[in-house]
Chain A
Amino acid sequence: MKRVGKGAGLMVALATAGLALAACGGGTVNEAASSSAAPAESSAAPADSSAAPAPADCGSWGVAMHGWVGYTASAQVLSDVAREKLGCDITQTQLDEAGVTYDAMEAGSVDVIIEDWGGGRWQEWVDRGAIVEVGLNGNVGLIGMYVPQWMCDEYPGITDGTKLNEYADLFVTPESGDKGAWLEGPPGYTTIGEKLIEANGLNFKIINTGSEAALIEAFTKGNDNKEAVLGYFYEPQNFLAKVPLCRINFPANDWTDAAKASGLTDYPETPLVKLATVKLMDSGSPFATLVQNFEWTNEDQNQVALDIENGMTPEEAAQKWIDANPDKVAAWLEGTGAS
């Protein structure tokens, strides 16, 4: 016991000394960092003073990050513009799509979803006053079931989704028993595969591959080895530029909320929506204006996404696009006071 007493006493002494040290904090690395940033800002200000007044203080905000590379592209560009041009403190948090993120927004740990496919599934949270739609982000999404191009060339009739039963046995694998294998989208994504199969009486079995990467691998193999693959995919996705896929079509879409889909009609062309917390949009922060103004095309997103897939870090790819498109960025910054 005495031994423990001595050891504990030593640690207490150390802790006290350590805390005392931490308390007298003149000139720490932290302060050096913030002070080296300040002179840069003050030297830039005189040059700008003839132009618009300096941007208001931006604050700290959270941007939700989702699993697919297109989203990463959009969100990274948004976050980097906010950091560089507006001086915002942005935290990017990886989260599952939909419910999980809406909950996080309600709790205040995340403020922006830059691309939501959900056709109104966020209504519950809007009703509770947590989330608000901030318009469209300019990208148009289209989900669908795809097969490798060679299959459309060899079986032209296959593009009619209602007639898939004629080709079901092409897709049989050990995982699907005696039915065709229908590779469904990852858990968080909008999927109505089961409804399509049931409503159209298709002789297929859903296989949940679990990730977009698994789908990409399956399609790549199907394309390279001329294997039959029927899988979930979507635009905008730069993968489609690398490996040609052709889309299976169902009767024209008539729904926006997947939970209400009957299964008789196809996925909709979805103008992708920006969502933000009421807290952000009411704050008057320049970041809110940036989010309001943010929009770009599918081609823009594909460019950045392709760079990321080819090995650049998201930060590098976003920076490359930002440097190459100053006019688009300027348009987003209108009304924030920065340039």
Chain B
Amino acid sequence: MDWNEVVETQGMFRWPYAIRYGEERKISTDVLVLGGGIAGCWAAISAARKGLKVALVEKAATIRSGAGGAGCDHWVLTPNPLSEITAEEVVDTELQDTGGYTNTISRYIAARESYDTLLELENMGAKVRDEDDEFKGAEFRDENTKLLFAYDYKNRLHFRVWGTTFKPALFKECKRLGVAIYDRTMATSLLNERGEQGQRVVGATAINVRTGEFLIFKAKATILCLSRPQRIWQFQSELTGFDTLRPQTNTGDGHAIAFKAGAKFTLMEKSLAHIMGSGDGFPIYGQGNPFNTWHPCSMIDAKGNEIPWVDRDGRSLRTVRERSLPSSGQKFMGERSLTYAYRRPQLTPDLPERIKKGEFVLPLYADLPGMPEEEQRVIWGMMVREEGKTHIPIYQTYMEKGFNPNQDLLQSYLFLGSDPLRSPGLPHKRVFGEVGDCGGLLTDWDLKTTLEGLYAAGDQLFASNYHHHAAATGRYAGRKAADDALKLKEFKINRKQVEEEKKRVYEFTKQRGGLNWKELNAASSRIMQNYCGDPKNEELLNIGLIWLKDLQKNEAPNLIASDPHKLMRTLEVINILTCSEMILHACLARRASSKFLGFNRYDYPDVDPSNWHKFITIRQVANRVEIGERPIDFYGSLKGNYESKNEDYLGSSIYRR
């Protein structure tokens, strides 16, 4: 029911949950997992399998929370017994695409373990095979295993999966293993040994976002799985969330609290212009397009003329089948690779010019009715149904409104200025964490951060990747954190640090200043657009920092949170300010432009000079920002490092190559 309607008929009503501001609850555990999305659930399961006591803290409801909670259509970049492609080759596609600015450690771990992870997920009850023979005989199906593949039917590196079954299966397994789940609970800070920044992480504080209760967790090892910051450059105070891949409650909480605890981050200067999250987009996967979930859908123009597909050499492809096979001389296709070696077939790149000349007439449409029967069925009936945020919003809603994939051409907004996947957007309207790799925590080969006792997985890592990566790194970090915790005694919580955090958190419930979280978020996004947009220079970035500090010092104290829900949103915006500050510092530190990082320093116009081909790191030491660097290949030997760190695991791994 509508709030106004209820108020008009029944008058004002009270907050429905008991208010427990300041009331403390103390929990002691072996392993603490912050964030119950894909990575967090896997981390909890993996640690609990080692027989440890595990607590899982989740801001929403673990059964369906996170970017991958609603569904997932692809399990990509996964070397497996049906494919000749190796983990080293998978990582190479990503190294080539990013100019080396990627998380080679976590991506190699994912490539080595994501097939095992998928099979383990199946054992928990998730659907990963075409058991019902819906697609029997289709070229993308392996008849023996009933596994389905996408993109590259020859090399079978990317799976098609029934991802709406995943999160409930993970949740059930967490419960079965006795993981203590704290839903509707937002982590607000990490606790350091002796309360000193940079020291071992010994636990965390949190609040219940319905009651405002204060939770104090003590843990031998903590795993951060709190996704990526959003709403940094783009924030809509209304119509906020319909065109984002991640719930807009992913606000960089993990980034902010780990930064304050003294952990080291990298790649924070990377961003790109994109309309996602701007409010200008359309429902994710809900418009006609030939990308990702919809690959290899035919596109036609308003007159019914088909838009040609070309291979990596620009040769026209005559059949639908050829769109899912490597080009002549090509070994395999990457997932979204733009590099020549791994590039997928695509719509002809001269399409914009041909539209301008009148050869094709806008709007374009996805021609599902013109697709081969099993391709049409797998795109609409399975991929669009199973992907995150599509089952009800797209598949069911459109069908109820009469959409028929056998007869109807779904309109594309491509070239109408608002394609959610490919539009370049406006240069100042940028995204950090919404698409592509972005900054995050730096880790070693155990996925341990630079702080003792603190691990990271999924989107919490710098340059993270899709669902398979969140799952595989969560599973891995859980294993490693548990091994660590098994060796350790309990640590003491510093009471002074707890008291300071309590004071900070509840201050917003006492204010009477009247500034609300939305206005502060809108103001910080405007600052980032103006001073950290496409043109960057030292002066602009410094003004941005001055402005942000001004907001933190003079405006944030006026924030008012009139209930625990708004307290959560208020604390989120404080985290957004911290993440914005981290980004500005990282941008100041990189004194060279880079096409790979979407980074234009007008005062240092040289693009990707060799002396800047390295990672910039930032962390806080004694509450001051310290800049550092790491060589671009700091990860060392992939196979050597991974295998020496995982001798115990290798014997049980199903995928071995």
Q: Do A and B bind each other?
A: no
Q: Which residues of B contact A (CB under 8 A)?
A: none
